[in-house]
Each structure stands twice: as C-alpha cells, then as structure tokens.
Amino acid sequence: MGRWEPNARERLATAALDLYSERGYEQTTVAEIAGRAGLTERTYFRHYADKREVLFDGSGALQELFVNAVAEVPESAPPIDAVTAGLDAVSTVFVGRREHAVRRQAVIVANAELRERELIKLASLSAALADALRLRGVTEPAASLTAEAGVAVFKVGFERWIAANEERTLAELMRESVGELRAAIGVGS
Amino acid sequence: MGRWEPNARERLATAALDLYSERGYEQTTVAEIAGRAGLTERTYFRHYADKREVLFDGSGALQELFVNAVAEVPESAPPIDAVTAGLDAVSTVFVGRREHAVRRQAVIVANAELRERELIKLASLSAALADALRLRGVTEPAASLTAEAGVAVFKVGFERWIAANEERTLAELMRESVGELRAAIGVGS
C-alpha cells in the first residue's frame, strides 16, 4: 500500500461520476478519473477493481442494511412488515443525496453494461432478502415472492423519487409503493 | 442464403443444449454445435447471432404471447387478472417441455454471462408488461408494480415447476404463486 490519501475513495467516486456525466461512461478512462481526483491510477485500483465498480460501491452496504433491518423486526410480524422496515432503513441512506442519485441513474441508464450490473445487484438483493425471510421462518414460495415484491417496490419507488418535480421523500414513496402494490394485486379473482 | 436445411433451427438448438449440458457452455464452440447437428457454421450464423442466443430463441415469442394475453382481457377486469391471463397463456407453451426446461436452466445457472442474459430478458418482459397495462388505462406506479409482480410470479413459479419431485403443471404453480404473493403481502400494517 502507498501513502495515505485523505478521502481518496470518495474523491475518486466524485471524479468518476463527474466525468461519466460530462463525457459519457465509455469515453472516460481510469487515468482521467484519477487525474481529476488529484490521485494516481495505482491509487484508483487500490480502491476499485474497474471503471464500473466505482458506481456500485454502496450496493453491498445497502444490501446489508436492508437485510439487517428485516432480521430485526420481531418474528411475530408478517413478512411484508419486515420488508417495509428494510425499505425504511435503506431510504435513510439516500437522505440529502437525491441530486447524486439522479446523476448516477442517468449514467447507468445510458449504458447497457451498467444496466446489466444494476440488474445483477438487484437480483443479489432479492436472493439475500429471501434468505433473511426464510431465517424468520417464512416458507417458500412466500419468502422468494415477498423478496421479489420488496425489490420491485425498491426499484419503482427509487425511480419515482428521482423523477423530475417529485418532492416527497424516498421513504414516503417506498411506503406509498407498498400500498399501491397491495391495492393493485389485492383485488380481482 | 444457402440451400434449405430442413428444421435447421431446431436441430441447432437441440445440438447446442446437448453439448452445453455434456461439456459446459464455455467449452463448446459453434463449430461443434453445427457439426453435431450435421450442419455448417455458416448455417448456424444464419439462424443465431452467437453461442448465447440459441438458448434464448423463444423469449421474444414468449413476451409477445404474454403481452397479447394481457391486452385481450376486458378492460373492466383488474390488472392482476390481466397478468394472470398472461401467466396462463405462457404456461401453455411449456406443456410437455419440462425436461427441456430443466436442462436449459442447469446450463444457465452454471454461467454468469447466461444468468445476466436471463435477467435482461426478464427486465424486458417487465417493461413490456407495464406498457401493456398502461394501454389498459392502469396508471403509474400501479402498472410498473403489477408488471414486476407478474414477472416475480413467472420466475418463482417457473423455478418451482422445474424443481425435483414437482408434479403440478406450470399453470397450476403460476396461479398458486399469485395466491401466495397476495397472501404474503396482503396482511400486516
């Protein structure tokens, strides 16, 4: 390891998102990201495996937070309440970060490779949530279906939150989306 | 175009799945697939763009069938009923093809690139379903959430169907999964 660089990780992430937004993801090199952050390529690779990872840095922590919140709800509560607690927990991470989320999403949507990576992260989240629900004693297929529903709410709630003119908080939109899903699939034969 | 080869498309698909199952996806070449089918590489590439596409040949037709079934349900019916009609329609395609589905799934699960492709196909199906629901007058976010729920049921229902010792039909498992999802998210706060 080289010398200690204060906030290197955050500086690299900021520089990467700035460059991806300005020039496009494909057109940006790791050397340019490091240069913009006033750091070396070597430092970049001490923190991130590739150009892509810098955009998905928080996804492991997010998954852990979600799963832990699900696990902490008393077992007597129904699975959907545990998932809702998870959605509340992850929403707190994004407070004050809407502008960042909007810019990051624009970069991801513009690139097929990044969209794929996002889908893989969501599939991983769904699998981890299903595990957490089974640990609570939820049987299959309810565990997998509730986990998929939770990820659907996360995805749709997040997209609503970053839409233009949206002023509600992410937590509000997540809770509202749970309600909308229940209403949408709760009626009919 | 070269001379007409009877059932070339199906012969190539069968040869590919056989070889992928026997040797693994990475270890198989297009030349070997063509050879096994008694055809040339050139014929292979007239039918499939690459090694991967031969496994996903039916996904466009499946999506069309699903979406058309959703569109044909009277607009007075709730969105979940339209999605259930779509699930019924796609289930019919798989009648008599369980062994094929089991083998195909084993190949996909063993390879990261193929798992990614499967996720992309499911995301595309979800987007098409949400479009079809909006055309029925379903507003957002209900359309996207119901579409995601439909894909979740398709995915989980399909996994149950190909599990060892499962004897129910795919249509039965899809309908049961809709019920399980409704029960799982219908209770609680």
- pLDDT bin (cut points 50, 70, 90) of residue B185 is confident
Whether B75 contacts B92, CB under 8 Å:
no
Provide the residue ranges of all domains of chain B, joining segments of one domain with +: 8-49, 58-186
CATH of B58-186, one of 1.10.40.30, 1.10.287.1080, 1.10.357.10, 3.40.50.2000: 1.10.357.10
Whether residue B69 has pLDDT greater than 70: yes
Q: Is the dihedral of CA A152, A158, A159, A165 positive or negative?
A: positive
DSSP state for residue A58 in the 8-state scheme:
T
Are A33 and A12 contacting, i.e. CB atoms less than 8 angstroms apart?
yes
* Mean pLDDT, rounded, for B59-75: 95
Average pLDDT, chain A: 93
Q: How many CB atoms lie within 10 A of CB A8?
A: 19
CATH class of the domain comprising B8-49: mainly alpha
Give this complex's ipTM: 0.89
Tell me which chain A residue has its CA closest to the CA of residue B133: A184
Chain B residue with Cα closest to A78: B188
What predicted TM-score, i.e. pTM, was given to this entire model? 0.91
CB contact under 8 A, A177 and B79: no
pLDDT tens digit sequence for A45-75: 999 999 999 999 989 999 999 999 999 999 9
- Split at pLDDT 50, 70, 90, the class of A3 is low
Cα atoms in the 13 Å half-sphere on the side-chain side of A8: 16
pLDDT tens for each residue of A133-167: 999 999 999 999 999 999 999 999 999 999 988 88
Cβ of B88 under 8 Å from any chain A Cβ? no
Q: pLDDT digit string (tens) for B91-139?
A: 999 999 999 999 999 999 999 999 999 999 999 999 999 999 999 999 9
Q: pLDDT exceeding 70 applies to what percent of chain B?
A: 96
Which of 64-83 (A) contact B at CB < 8 A?
A: 77-81
Q: Which two tokens stand for residue B153?
A: 């049921």
Please say if the pLDDT value at position A4 is more than 70.
no
Q: Do B141 and A177 touch (CB under 8 A)?
A: yes
Burial B75-86 (b: 16+ CB within 10 A, else e): eeebbbbbbbbb
Q: Residue B166's pLDDT is what?
A: 86
Chain A nearest-CA distance from B43, in A, is: 29
Distance CA B73, CA A122 (A): 31
8 Å CB contact of B183 and A142: yes
Residues of B in contact with A116 (CB under 8 A): 116, 119-120
Nearest C-alpha of chain A: how many angstroms from B24?
22
What pLDDT score does A188 carry? 41
Name the residue facing A77 among B119, B183, B188 (closest C-beta). Answer: B188
**Chain A residues close to B182, C-beta within 8 Å:** 185-186
Instruction: Say if CB A177 and CB B141 are below 8 A apart.
Output: yes
The pLDDT score that the predictor gives to residue B6 is 79
User: Nearest CA to A144 among B78, B104, B149, B94?
Assistant: B149
